[in-house]
Structure 1
Amino acid sequence: MTTNDTRTGGSGDRRPPTLVFVHGTHVSAYSWSGLTNELNLRGHRSVAVDLPRHGDDGFFPRGYQAPQDIEALATDPSPLAELTLDDYADHVIEVVRRARRHGPVILIGASQGGVTVSRVGNAIPDLLERVVYVAAYCCVELATMTDYLATPENSESLVGEVTAAVVGDPATLGVARVNWRTADPSLLKGIRECLAAGFTDEELRQLLNMFQPDEPVSIPRSDARGEAHTWGRIPRTYVRFTEDRLIPPALQDRFIAEADRLTPSNPTDVRSVPAPHVGPMHRPELVEIFSELASR
């Protein structure tokens, strides 16, 4: 894991910031494309990161292709099984360092991407102008995402509707392998209710084709607590999704409250958007939020 970088960044730099976006689980940089395109057209600097073995370097098991071979899908080995949260964080740290040569950096994470943002904030706080969590896990008092899944604030989560589509044994494969290409109407209904309530059938199909099946099981079990003396010094924003049924608003509010207890002199800037978990991220409200943050 990369250690803290002592170079000074932040508010003294008057150059326009670069917004660096980190995607959530089972997706890629493409999930941000509508947002980053609009921000770039408005004159802002933005880049979306593909985490290791995602996006352009994504992995799709042979059994996942049509016609699907479910037996093969349940057993095909995955290169993502060896990846750790350190791998994710180190990859993003390198992107931040490159972007920081051109001015301040605002680091944004959605969903599971929040744990990578926190790790990066612990490692290189002086290179970050701000961290932003978009309906994201922001571990503070509990160590891992898995710990928060067991809290009362998560009791209304519909995550089980998504895990019902998992194929194979995650403990054996080393990845949670979700069959987003399932034809089972009950599974598709559950996925929509959890992630994309209100999406049309066409919008749901577009969404499912952005997903890739594998994600390392190690990530939700990794210690991702933000530390007061590093991460806690960075100004932060939390964008709440009020219609989220994967990370319920109550759990999002717990993340905010814990962060504010840890750093009372650095309270969270909170925004609320009436959106389900997947947004989509190019919603006008999100464009305006990030355009405003980039213009400060």
Structure 2
Amino acid sequence: MSGNGDVTPQGGQSRRGVLKAAVAGAGAVAAVGAGATAAHADGRRRGAPTFVLVHGSGCNSSSWSALSGELGLRGHRVAAVDLPGHGPDAYFPASYQAQDLARLRTEPSPVSKVTLADCTAHVTEAVRRAHRNGPVVLVGQSLGGATVTSVANQVPELLAHLVYVSAFCPTRHPSALQLMMTPEASTSALFRIPSVQTPPELGVGRVNWRSADPAFLAAAKDALAAGYSDTELLALLNTLEPDESLAVSAAESPGAAETWGRVPRTYVRFTEDRAIPPALQDLMIREADATTPRNRFRVRSLAAPHIGPRDPRVLADELEQVARLCR
């Protein structure tokens, strides 16, 4: 127990430090590339599913742009949502814009008020609307997996399939925070991304993605985009948002066997992910399968870092396979 009341898990990380790491940037997928965030083709083909895409921490719907564009060109319906406090509702502190680093540590953020329940309600409404056109495949990446799980707990009857793209899937460990405190998460490179040292009462994990510090850039690249070029990394960082509500990672909403557990599911493992290491991905798969042994994950593995494959066709191929299972 540390002096400020934080529990200290292995590796010397405080409970709050783990929470901040969990939201420090475990979010973007396929953010580098061109495309639309929403695509629609033949919207009344009731046998074809609609993909509803949920982004991760510090991101917005544009993180799905390359994948959305590719799926749209293949004739699929796609809706990439912006979670509350993200996209048009994102908050960029004045100190972030000015790079006033002293003020950045204390400037309040309305994002702190966002809860997992808010995210769940928002995505559930998108799922309801999409369901009017036919089956829905709900896809979550990174921290977005917590919202996907919570939605499936509430409206399993509206979902044809769940897809976790290197995403948090809480079951036996009921929150993203608790998953990040496991031994399997101890090697996560997220712990090495320097976050802004905000006081607990601020309620946000804050990252200065506009930092020019070479050590910061190296840590961010290692965690999120290993194998990408420095130019691609900067393009990614300029799409990210500085604040994420700590309440979302801390909220407990484990997948329930009687609801979430009824929905067929696929886990897309990123074998080169250093933010959510393969060992942690495999732990979540095992715990989910133990919760519903008669409805186990369909597992696919891709050689990709946390932001996903450089070529959006690779992930689009996987989602097309899921679409075929829904017909």
TM over 0.5, shorter chain: yes
* Equivalent of residue 95 in structure 2, options 63, 86, 96: 63
Match of 2:113 in 1: 82
Which residue, 15, 21, 25 being the options, matches 2:53? 21
Following superposition, the deviation at residue 234 of structure 1 comes to 0.2
Q: Post-superposition shift, 1:14?
A: 5.4
Q: Give the conservation status (yes or no) of the 8 Å contact 2:268–2:300.
A: yes
Q: What letter corresponds to residue 92 of structure 1 in structure 2?
A: V
2:224 paired residue number: 195
1:108 aligns with 2:145: no
Task: Look up the equivalent residue of 1:223 and give its one-letter code.
Answer: E
Once the 2 structures are TM-superposed, how far is the Cα of residue 172 of structure 1 from its aligned partner? 2.4
User: Percent of counterpart pairs with the same letter?
Assistant: 50
SS at 1:131 equivalent: strand
Q: Tell me, what secondary structure is at the counterpart of 1:43?
A: coil
Report if the CA contact (8 A) 1:99-1:105 is conserved: yes
Per the TM alignment, residue 281 of structure 1 is displaced from its structure 2 partner at its CA by 7.1
1:50 aligns with 2:82: yes
- Please give the secondary structure, in 2, of the residue aligned with 1:92: helix
Q: Distance in 2 between matches of 1:160 and 1:170?
A: 18
Contact 1:26 1:214 survives alignment (8 Å)? yes
| Structure 1 SS opposite 2:118 | helix
2:299 matched to 1:270?
yes
2:202 & 2:91 partners in 1: Cα distance? Answer: 14
Residue number among 228, 252, 256 corresponding to 1:227 in the alignment = 256
* Structure 1 residues 170 and 84, CA gap change in structure 2 (3 angstroms): farther
1:38 corresponding residue in structure 2: 70
Checking the alignment, whether the CA contact within 8 Å between 2:90 and 2:111 is kept in structure 1 is: no
Q: Which amino acid aligns with 1:215?
A: E
Write the distance in 2 (CA, Å) between the matches of 1:228 and 1:292: 25
Change (3 A) 1:96 1:170: farther
Q: CA deviation at 1:171?
A: 1.1
Equivalent residue pairs, number: 281
Aligned-partner SS, 1:288? helix
Specify whether residues 21 and 43 from structure 1 end up closer, same or farther in structure 2 by C-alpha distance, changes over 3 A only.
Answer: same
1:156 corresponds to 2:187 = yes
CA distance in 2, matches of 1:60, 1:107: 28
Gaps of 5+ in 1: 1-12
Provide TM-score, normalisation by structure 2: 0.83
Question: 2-side partners of 1:170 and 1:45: how far apart?
Answer: 43
Distance in 1 of aligned mates of 2:210 and 2:142: 21
Correspondence for 2:240 among 207, 211, 216: 211
Provide the residue aligned with 1:72 in structure 2.
Answer: 103
Compute the RMSD of aligned alpha carbons: 1.3
Q: Which amino acid is 1:245 matched to?
A: R
1:96 lines up with 2:124 in the alignment = no
Offset at residue 282 of structure 1 (A): 5.1
Deviations 1:215-262 (A, max 9, x none): 001111110200000000000000000000011101101111111111
Aligned partner letter, 1:43: G
SS in 1 for 2:179: helix
Partner of 2:319: 290
Give, in angstroms, the shift of residue 283 of structure 1: 3.0
Counterpart Cα distance in 2 of 1:37 and 1:181: 27
Give the aligned residue type for 1:111: S
